[in-house]
Amino acid sequence: MDWLNAILQGTLLGGLYALFAAGLSLIFGVMRLVNIAHGDLIVLAAYLGLTVTVGTGLHPLLALILVVPAMGLIGYGLQRGLLNQTIGQDILPPLLVTFGLSVILQNTLLEAYTADPQKLDAGALETASVSLGGLTMGILPLLTFLIAIGVIWGLQWIFYRTALGRAFRAVSDNQEIAQLMGLNRRHIFGLAMALALAVTAVAGILLGIRTSFDPSVGGARLIFGFEAVIIGGLGNLWGTLAGGVILGVAQTVGAKIDPGWQLLAGHLAFLVILAVRPNGLFPRISG
């Protein structure tokens, strides 16, 4: 039963990791941009959520109505104003710029919100749980998992069923030809970043309800996001969810043996998959 519980909790944890990773996966899939500041953007979203809940008294989940579009706008502005200037044949400049952005974000948040740990107050939702045949699931982790499925499904639908998705896939396949066909690459990239940060907003709010956060915690979350993306296969959104779940289960099963193995087991699972399937389990993009 204990093992079953570890696997169950790991699966639910995978939902959170998939949310961390979905935005990364999307940006990388569309414009081959590795966003080092992703973790800090998640924390930024959590702080925006905090500002909204404290300012208006809304429940954190309702605050999403404001935070998601706000992050979307920030994403579009960020891409058009800054990151588009760095995108080219060389993948190094965007990497360095987002690294710098990460440092700037952390210190701006520190200046604006101080180093105090903050938490989003979701009331009874934080501690509620349901029991199922001896296994106990927290409502919040369950909700996180369901939201992760919903978000991935939504992204998948946008990618393969809408004109915007067609544009994303076109610039992803070949930027120059897409440009020749009348797509404004810069605008499309801006929209992709907006969408990615909208997802980040959801991840940030759920993180903020689950644990307390301060300006410096973003970086630690980044690595799980990267691992989930790579385990699942670059550019495959459902793969990202699977990657998150594999990572989560590996961690909790590792922790069942000894808590010190929690992260190690996750990293080992990642390395094994990288060794056996260098492109991840379900790659959409080669190389």
Partner 1 sequence: MSKLKIKPNRRNFLTGAAAVIASPALLSATRAYAATPTLRVGYVTPTTGPLAGFAEADEYILSGIKEALSGGIENNGKNWAVEIIVRDSQSNPNRAAEVAADLILGDEVDIIVSAATPDTINPVADQAEVNEVPCVTSVAPWQAYFFGRNGVPGEGFSSTYHFFWGLEDVLGAFMDMWGSAGVTKTVGGLFPNDADGNAWGDPEKGLAKPLAANGYELIDPGRYQPLTDDFSNIIAAFKTSGCEIVTGAVIPPDFATFWAQAAQQGFDPKIVTVGKALLFPSVVESLGDRGDGLSSEVWWSPHHPFSSSLTGASSNELANGYSASSGRPWTQPIGFVHALFEVVANAAARADDLDDPAAITAAVANTNLDTIVGNVNWANGPVKNVCKTPLVAGQWQKEGDSFDLKIVANAEAPNIATTGELKLLG
Of these, 56, 85, 127, 174, which contacts partner 1 (CB under 8 A)? 127
User: Within 10 A of 4 (CB to CB), how many other CB atoms are there?
Assistant: 11
Residues of this chain, 196-215, that bind partner 1 according to CB under 8 A: 210-214
Residues of this chain, 247-286, that bind partner 1 according to CB under 8 A: 248, 251-252, 255-256, 258-263
Of these, 57, 89, 90, 115, which contacts partner 1 (CB under 8 A)? 115
| Residue ranges with strand state E in 129-269 | 129-132, 135-138
Q: Which of 192, 189, 185 is nearest to 237 (CA)?
A: 192
Q: Which of 287, 22, 282, 286 is nearest to 150 (CA)?
A: 22
Minimum distance from CB of 282 to partner 1 (Å)? 24
57 belongs to the binding site for partner 1 (CB under 8 A): no
Please give the Cα distance from 148 to 258 (Å, whole number).
Answer: 28
Minimum distance from CB of 126 to partner 1 (Å)? 5
Minimum distance from CB of 14 to partner 1 (Å)? 10
Residues of this chain, 230-249, that bind partner 1 according to CB under 8 A: 248
117 belongs to the binding site for partner 1 (CB under 8 A): yes
Please give the Cα distance from 39 to 43 (Å, whole number).
Answer: 7
Cβ proximity to partner 1, 130 vs 181, nearer residue: 130
129 belongs to the binding site for partner 1 (CB under 8 A): yes
Cα-Cα-Cα-Cα dihedral sign, residues 64, 68, 74, 75: positive
Asked whether the beta carbons of 22 and 14 are under 8 A apart, the reply is no
Residue 116: partners with Cβ closer than 8 Å, 6 or more residues away: 214
Of these, 34, 121, 158, 281, which contacts partner 1 (CB under 8 A)? 121
Asked whether the beta carbons of 18 and 152 are under 8 A apart, the reply is yes
102 belongs to the binding site for partner 1 (CB under 8 A): yes
Q: Kindly list the residues in this chain that would bind partner 1 in the complex (CB under 8 A).
A: 2, 5-6, 9-10, 13, 16, 36, 39, 102-103, 106-107, 110, 114-119, 121, 126-129, 136-141, 210-214, 216-222, 248, 251-252, 255-256, 258-263
